[in-house]
Structure formats: structure tokens, C-alpha cells
Structure 1
Amino acid sequence: MSMYAAYLSDEEMERACSEEQFIRHMLTFEMALANAEAKVGIIPHSAAQAIQAKLSQITINPSDLAEGTLKNGIPTIPFLSNLKEQLPAAAKDFLHLGATSQDVLDTAQVLMIKEAVSILEGHIRKLLYNLLTLVERDGQIPCIARTRWQQATPIPFGLKVVNWAMPFVRDLERLQEMKKRLLVVQLGGASGSLAALEHKGYQVLEALANELHLGVSLPWHTQRDSFTEFTNWLTLVSATLGKMGEDVLLMAQTEVGEVIENAQGGGKSSAMPHKNNPVLSEALVGLSKATTNLSALQMQSMLQAGERDGTSWMLEWRNIPQMLINTATALKHAITVSTHMQINKERMLENINLTNGLVYAEQAVSFLSRQLPKSEASSLVNKAIELVNKDKSLPDALTEVATDRKMNWQELLQPEACFGSSREMMATAINRIKEVLPT
């Protein structure tokens, strides 16, 4: 394991995106292709059985393909040479029949993504469960909302958590809808016409998809929109995690002190023993930035010249695995943060009171507007704001400028008075989260 692996990687996703696993997916493709072609009647069943028997036992190391990949620009040629050396003579000519290198690599990449998606779905659901727990347990704690880095109005802490959670609910919905376009087989042959399979090409394609438990699609070797849609989805997930990280970083600042990111310890400093740095939230932000940059590379892979373009195609080979690893790692860290975050409700209340009541100005206008025109109510509150200082709160100033209103401002201007429809919003969010969690 590298020095940074535990912090900037996810072990389960690393395995799913490893070259060793990718080669296993390539082997799976070749076995499935042989079985499909035997079922359609293009190759003998005996040849398909021989290919299945041998390939299911073969182990190929990435290093075995390195020299050939350098020479040919793709690992498929040394891969097939390796396999044919181990097949009986009667089966050799039927391996990879009618397919081309890109068919193997693209379908292997789809199989890799299929495995990775299962991991990501599990991570997202675990994170949503943790966020749901936060809303249900700590959701009613008053805290200050911040707009443009300034104090705005009091809100329940649960509403802040809802803003983290709801994009993930939609991301799961997006993913389910996307799968029908993403998890599909690629088989096009030399130029996308399946000419080597003559009139049975589409039958083989359908049979191959069935063997691999993938969807059927017309050959898409120069159509990279589904992969790009998926990497954009990864960027959406990563950006939401980055937003959560930014919020925790702000709330964990010493001067703010509303949360401890990981109350189980960590975030030590080599020079300052008093520190508990929010290092996991920093990783959420950093990984989000990295993934966003990588998404631009995937967008460029859509610029495909003719019926195959290696200059664009190869951009995906490292790019997609790295985006998957980044996203899984960020989800792993967010799960830890949401599990071990410690809320300081006393500090949250102190921060609400930091401006001596100015954060209730909007609500004061609302209360006065029940008795006065809105413009007059706003004018009175603005006059009161001018009187607020360290010794005079907004409730005191309102009592002074609105003496004829006979309103108990100390009772009226409390955090809960600013919650509005937050409770209904949290209840709705709770129901939506539960809809996407396993029962």
C-alpha cells in the first residue's frame, strides 16, 4: 500500500478498477463471445466449450501484456496471443471471431463500471442512512445559516443536513435511469458493421449481451456519450461531497466551533498538539476538485475521428478508473464524518446570538407586517438596526423604536421563529431518503 492510499483511495474500488480485474473482464468477454457464437451456430459448440474450459483457468498478469501494449498501443493483441498459445488447435481459430480489440476493451470497461456502480450505490446508501440519522437525532438543534459567508438567519441543523442528503437521493434516481444506456455490450467488429459475422451479427450481439447480463445496443465504439454521462454523474456526486466538506470545514473552524469533524480522534498536527484538523473534509473538497478536472478529459474523449480514434479513446483508460476511485474514497470519508461528527449545540446558539439579535431582522419585519404596511415595518426595523450595539440587542432596540406596537420582542425573536416550513421540509426529506434505502 502506498503512503497516501488509505487517505486518497478506497481499497474495494481499487480492486474493482485494477488491471488484474480488467483482464478478468476481458477473459469473460471472450468466453461469452464464444458461447454466443456457438448458440447462433457460427462456431462449433466443442470450440466454445474448449475456450470456456481453458480461459476460466487462465491467469494473465498485467506485466505479461506490457511489452505488447507498448508495441501495438492496445493490450488486446498480446492478450489474444497469450490465449491462443494455450488453446487446443481445434479452438484457436474460433477465439475472438468477428470481434475487434475495441469490442473487448469497451465491454470489459462496462463490466468494470457495473461492478464499481454496485460499490458506489452501497456507499451512497450508507451515507444517506447516516445523514438520515443526523436529521432525526439532531435536526431540531438551532444553528445559523450563512449566505455568502455571512450570518443569515437561524435554521434547524437538520435543514443543513437535508441540503447534503437530497442530491444523493436524486443521484441514485439518475443512476437507475442511466444504467439502461450505460451497462450495454459493445460489439461492432472492425468498423462497426459486424461484417465478419455476415447476416448473423446482430444475433451474436444479442446473445453476447445475454451471456454477460448486459443490455443490447447498436455498436457505439465512437459514441462516448454514455460514458461521459456517467463520468458527469461521478462529478455530481463528488461535488455534493465537496459541498458537504466545505460546510464542515467552516463549522469546524476554531472561531466557529459548531462541530468536531471526527470525535473519534485524528487530524493531528506535528507541531501543535492541541489541534484536531478536519482532514477528511479537506479530502472531500480536494477529491471533488480532482474529479471535476478529470471530467473535462472524458468530455474530450467524445471527439472521435471516423470509426475509431485512439487519441481520444485512450483518455478513458486511466481517467474513468481514477474518477471511480476518487468518488468512492470521498464517499468513504463522508461516511466516517457523518458517523463520528460531534455537534456543539451550545456553540451553535452562541453563534446565533453573536450579532446581538441582528439575525432576527427579517423575522421582525414579518411580525410588524401583520400590523403595518411592509414598507413601514421595514423602516422601523432599519431604525432599530442602527441602534444595535454590544450593549443593546435588536429586541431592545425594537422596543424603543416601536413603543406603540406592544410586542414582546424578547419572546418573539427566538431561533424557532425563523424555522418557517423547515419541519415540513425535513419530514418530506426523511420520507424521500427512506424511499431509496433498503427496507
Structure 2
Amino acid sequence: MINRYTVKKIEDIWNDENKLNIWLDVEKKVSYAWMKMGIVSQDEYNLISQNASINIQRMLEIEKETRHDVVAFTRAISETLGKEKKWIHLGLTSTDVVDTAQNKLIQLSNRIVVASLVELKAVLKDKALKYKNTLTMGRSHGIYGEPTSLGLKFLLWFDELNRQLERFYLARKQIEVAKISGSMGNYANMEFEIEEIVANEMGLGIDNISTQVTQRDRHAFLISVFANIASTLEKIATEIRLFQRSEVQEWHEGFKPNQKGSSSMPHKKNPISSENITGLSRYLRSFTNVAFENNVLWHERDISHSSNERIILSDIYNVLVYSLNRLKETLEELVIDEEKMLEHINSQFNVFYSQPMLNYILINCDESREEVYDFIQKCTFETMNSKVDFKESLIRNGLNKYVKDMSKIEEIFNINYFIRNVDKIYSRTLKK
């Protein structure tokens, strides 16, 4: 990952030194398990536990000859041990070490993702509560519809992140597993108990059945969940960008005192954070195709997945955590212009009461829906073309034909009508 989008906590997990240390931990845990099974003596295990270490440079030297990284790894470890070195890699195949270790790295990274998701959720909840009773123009197809609660927008995203977390927890359960089943995955040179001990010691679940590798449907599911999360991040970022447009100006990203929006136009304030998140979300989703293709391996295994996973897994976590953190900060610094939102509501001359009027007339008269709809539509067009209040247009065009008690009309033209059930929505969503 390029430095610009690197997250130190993620890099510390996926760097070569830590990765090889996790490989080493797997080997030690397997030796511990063999000791528990009575094959390796307590003294031999103690020597392995205390003395086994990995020198990356030495491993790379050996790999030039062996052209096999795990063989180079085990030989480099063996050079740090005495006779007890014969127990290193006993009964294992390369991917017992590599996949178990990689799933551990994934587990460690997943914890950081969860923390970032929870922090983002908290910001959205705060915004939802703050703006629960703040009116804004709702839009459909990009066109004004009816006023609604601004807070509902943030509550919607909060609820969506809850669903993303549910999917993520399921994906975590499926991928955070140990795979210690030997060369063909049939435990011919391994004992069931070894895998169980290693999994328990490493805080992982167990891969119930595998071939020589952990099946990549697990990885594909995880990455597809991340792609789905990215779609939520882009959804939010796109909404910020839309509201910051010069033609709208209801929201805008925070702008630092010395920040610059353009190299040539000093007046510009651009939604750069939201655009950044949008681009990175697209990049993250591009990994799904690779992940699904990785699930198709020849017979028990091949290594067509191995090369790309060395790159994409750390990149995915860097991009995802970076994007989550940047969106959280963007939302925290978001500036919302309530006067501009009210200005836009008032600019519509109350035409957005068309549906409440339609419903009221239909309930209280015997005319057909088509007739009433056409009458109200005619009044709305006159309202916007002539810039007159919608209620005035209704009366002018013969509302009394449909409504006998005109005093009831005043009850309909109440702006709080559009947020009358907001409390119920909040109660249901937050209770869940």
C-alpha cells in the first residue's frame, strides 16, 4: 500500500516481520500440541519455545536455493535449534502454517475494522439524534419530494452499518479458523487433536474440512462483505458531495483555516474527503472479482491464489480502515446550513402538501382517484409556474367541490405533519 493510505496499525500486522513471527508461532503451537500428545518431550518443547527464532535475511538467502519460502523458513528456524529441530514442521504441509497464520492476521485486522465501524456508527447516531426534528427537503430522483427529518438520513446509515456489522461478524466466524490437517487435508499425517489444540491456543475456530488449503469461499465472503461496506461508505460520501454542490449548499465539509480548494481558483471549497472515499470505495470493491476467482483451485490446491493474496489482503485492510476513519472525521466536521434547508423548503410555496391533500380529499369525498389527482396536479403546476401558495391555488380552482368543511384544511397545512411518526422510527431502529 502506498504511504498516503497506509494505516500504521494495519501495516504493523501485515509487515514481513510480523507475518513470519506468526508463522513461527504456529510452528511452536504445533510442537506444543505434539508435546501434549506425548510425542515431543517437555524439555524438547521448552527448547523450541525458548530458542526457535527467524532471521529474515537468512531465510531469504536459503530461499534463493530452495525457491520455496516455507522450506526456507523451516530451515532458517532449524539453524537456531539443536537436536530438537527435528520436531519443527512435524506432520505439516506449507499451507497448514501459511493459512493458519494468515487467518490469524485477518483476525487481528478484523478487530481494527470493528473498532472503526463502531466509532463511525457512534458519530452517525449522534448526528441522527441531533437533527431528529430538523426539517429538510426530501428528494426522489434528485427532485424535491416532501419535507422530512434530516436526522432520518443519519439514522438510515446507522441502521445500515448495523446490518454490515452483522454480515461482518458472520464472515469473521467463517474465516478466523485454524487449518492443521496435513498435505491432503485428510489428517493422514496429523491428528485431530493437534488442530484443536493449536486453534484453542491461537484463539481461532477450526476449519472443519479442508483440502491442502483453507477453502477460499471464506475469503471471498469476507471481501464481498468489505465491498458491501465500501458501498455504504460511498453512499454517504456521495450524499455529502451532492449537498455541497453550489446549486444546493445545504451541507459542506469542514474547511481548515489554511486549507486550499484549488491551485488556480482561491474561492473554491471542494468536497475532497468525500471524493477520496468514493474513489477508494471503488478500488476496494474491485478486489471481489479476484477473491471469487481464488476459490477455484486445481484438485486439492494450487498456488494461483497465493501471489495476489500477498498483495490484496493488506491493501484491503489499509483502504477499508483508512476510509472508515476518514469518513468518521468528515462527518464530525460536517457543516450543515439549516437556514439554507429552510430556504429551500419555503421556495416550494407549500406545493409538497399535494399528497396530504390528495389523501384527505379521497377519504372525505366520493370522486374518483383519477379526478382528484388531476385536480391537485393542475393546482401544483399553477403554484410553481405562477409562484402562488398552493393552498391559494386549490381554493381558486374549486377546492370547495371536494371539501365541504374548509376549516379542516388548516390542519393539513402543518409542517410537523411530515415528521409526526419520526419518534416511532427512532424508537424501533434504536431499540433493535
TM above 0.5, yes or no, is: yes
Matches of 1:312 and 1:72 in 2, distance apart? 21
The change in CA–CA distance for 1:343 and 1:390 in structure 2 (over 3 A counts) is farther
1:254 to 246, 261, 267: 246
Letter in structure 1 aligned against 2:391: P
Answering whether residue 40 of structure 2 is matched by residue 40 of structure 1, we say no
The change in CA–CA distance for 1:66 and 1:379 in structure 2 (over 3 A counts) is farther
Answering whether residue 415 of structure 2 is matched by residue 423 of structure 1, we say no
Matches of 2:59 and 2:112 in 1, distance apart? 28
Letter in structure 2 aligned against 1:288: S
- Partner residue in 1 for 2:298: 305
Matches of 2:112 and 2:242 in 1, distance apart? 30
Matches of 2:235 and 2:398 in 1, distance apart? 41
- Partner residue in 2 for 1:81: 75
Gapped runs of 5+ residues in structure 1?
433-439
1:16 to 5, 13, 17: 13
Which segment is superposed worse, 360-369 or 274-283? 360-369
CA deviation vs aligned residue, 1:127-166 (integer Å, no higher than 9, x gap): 1111111111122111122222222222101111122111
Answering whether residue 22 of structure 2 is matched by residue 25 of structure 1, we say yes
Letter in structure 2 aligned against 1:86: T
The change in CA–CA distance for 1:92 and 1:350 in structure 2 (over 3 A counts) is same
Answering whether residue 136 of structure 2 is matched by residue 164 of structure 1, we say no
3-state SS in 2 of match to 1:370? helix
The change in CA–CA distance for 1:333 and 1:68 in structure 2 (over 3 A counts) is farther
3-state SS in 1 of match to 2:136? strand
User: Normalising by the residue count of structure 2, what TM-score does the alignment of the two structures yield?
Assistant: 0.90
Matches of 2:62 and 2:238 in 1, distance apart? 45
User: Residues 235 and 295 of structure 1 are in contact (CA less than 8 Å); yes or no, is this contact kept in structure 2?
Assistant: yes
Alpha-carbon shift at residue 322 of structure 1 (Å) = 1.4
Alpha-carbon shift at residue 412 of structure 1 (Å) = 3.4
3-state SS in 2 of match to 1:152? strand
1:228 to 220, 224, 234: 220
1:138 to 96, 112, 131: 131
The change in CA–CA distance for 1:189 and 1:234 in structure 2 (over 3 A counts) is same
3-state SS in 1 of match to 2:88? coil
3-state SS in 1 of match to 2:138? strand
Alpha-carbon shift at residue 403 of structure 1 (Å) = 3.7
Matches of 1:344 and 1:174 in 2, distance apart? 35
2:196 to 206, 209, 227: 206
CA deviation vs aligned residue, 1:53-77 (integer Å, no higher than 9, x gap): 123xx3544x655566677665322
3-state SS in 1 of match to 2:266? coil
Structure whose alpha-carbon radius of gyration is higher: 2
Answering whether residue 236 of structure 2 is matched by residue 244 of structure 1, we say yes
User: Residues 135 and 147 of structure 2 are in contact (CA less than 8 Å); yes or no, is this contact kept in structure 1?
Assistant: yes
Alpha-carbon shift at residue 420 of structure 1 (Å) = 5.2
Gapped runs of 5+ residues in structure 2?
none
The change in CA–CA distance for 1:422 and 1:9 in structure 2 (over 3 A counts) is farther
The change in CA–CA distance for 1:299 and 1:72 in structure 2 (over 3 A counts) is farther
Answering whether residue 391 of structure 2 is matched by residue 399 of structure 1, we say no
- Partner residue in 1 for 2:313: 320
Which segment is superposed worse, 73-82 or 336-345? 73-82
Matches of 2:189 and 2:329 in 1, distance apart? 53
Matches of 2:30 and 2:331 in 1, distance apart? 45
Matches of 1:375 and 1:420 in 2, distance apart? 28
1:71-150 aligned within 5 A? 75-88=69-82, 90-150=83-143
RMSD: 2.4
Answering whether residue 3 of structure 2 is matched by residue 5 of structure 1, we say yes
Matches of 1:287 and 1:65 in 2, distance apart? 35
The change in CA–CA distance for 1:296 and 1:390 in structure 2 (over 3 A counts) is farther
CA deviation vs aligned residue, 1:400-420 (integer Å, no higher than 9, x gap): 224413257677345432235
Which segment is superposed worse, 141-150 or 103-112? 141-150
Letter in structure 1 aligned against 2:254: N
Relative contact order, higher structure (CA 8 A, sep 6+): 1
3-state SS in 1 of match to 2:179? coil
Which segment is superposed worse, 393-402 or 79-88? 393-402
The change in CA–CA distance for 1:362 and 1:17 in structure 2 (over 3 A counts) is farther
The change in CA–CA distance for 1:16 and 1:322 in structure 2 (over 3 A counts) is same
